[in-house]
Amino acid sequence: MNATEEYAEVVHLAARGDGVTADGRHVPGAAPGDRVGADGAIIPGLHHVAPPCRHFGACGGCQLQHVDEETLADFAARRVLEPLERLGIRPDQLMPTHMSAPGTRRRAAMRATRTKGQVRLGFNVGGQHSIVDLVECPVLHPALMALVGPLKRVLAPHLSEKSAIGVTMTLTDSGIDLLLANLQANSLPVIEGLTDFAARQGLARLSVEGPMGVETLVARADPALVMGGVSVTVPPAAFLQATEDGEAALVAAVTEICGAAGRVADLFAGSGTFALPLSQHARVLAADAAGPAIKALEAAARRAGRHVEALHRDLFRKPLSAQELAPFEAVVIDPPRAGAIAQSEALAVSAVPVVAAVSCNPATFARDAERLVAGGYRLGRLWPVAQFRWSTHVELVAEFRRQGG
């Protein structure tokens, strides 16, 4: 066997980011075009690049820092297409992949721990419960990364050995909204210390979450975001699209699908990511089971004079029926990772002419899409959105129209 024959070429990336060779081997850290020896040694190819972060390979947040831009875009497209193709479904048109830039992630959920006396704050090690102690993060917005060091210092006195505090940081238009989980803040010294920390760091809001729920300790500014020209005060740790540009790409696609529809239902509406932009030209019913989010949307729409009806409803247990959906010219559906099988089945037997489906899980999206296609919808345009840069996590927007519509 000569030297060339001893190596297998990596032909594509698997769903979890491993390189897959022509002979079917999965090789962590390999990129398409690399050659892999029988001993696992990798000879980098044209698509292999140097990872920008020292934590790559340990931190579970990123799996694809070793591949170039072309490969990232191709991976995102394959991730949304392959589950559909296994069901025999193909879109009429695959739109260009949107990719968020480094340093734009505006929301992060981390943990602080103390192990053998050392305080760590960061993301989990891949596949483990231990923590990567963040020194840098090219994904996070610089304002969030700048808070990591001060947070370690202020949380250190509250961490006993092997204990953990959950840390959720959200960058709003008025500053960082910080939520700390599993932190006992029931004494005056602790409260005063956290209040002083919030003032020194210029936080918009600082809240703690415990057995009795979420309590806001400091509210220095209204932690608000503008959605569709409307300022929304977001609840602590509310769902939010990961990046501002990623949200804009999703909204642009949904708006294009809905077109001139005058009555729109936004299902799993959250705080109004799609409902508020659509309300500029349509009457919108916004439904969600998350009480604080739907209340925030309702209050924001009322202040702005927008035609939005907010409905607090668990769409998993009680989806809108075909009869309830009948008045709408378009429906937007943006469920969590589990998808929305019950609501998709109700849509499949409805008369709604167009559905804009947003998903953060290509697998459950494909399952729900199969129901819509079986019910007479056709999958038109499909937009891959990779706002979780260097991650295998990919989102999408899909256009479904009634056959003949």
Catalytic annotation, residues: 360
Give the SS3 label for residue 68: coil
C-alpha of 404 from chain center = 34
49-53-55-61 Cα dihedral, nearest 10 degrees: -90
Residue 216 has a CB neighbour count (10 Å cut-off) of 14
384 close to 77: Cβ distance less than 8 angstroms? yes
Long-range contacts of 369-375 (CB under 8 A, 24+ apart): 369/84, 369/87, 369/89, 369/344, 369/398, 369/400, 370/87, 370/89, 371/341, 371/344, 371/345, 371/347, 372/344, 372/347, 372/348, 372/400, 373/89, 373/400, 374/348, 375/347, 375/348, 375/349
Q: Which residues contact 149 (CB under 8 A, 6 or more apart)?
A: none
Backbone angles phi, psi at 386, to 5 degrees: -105, 75
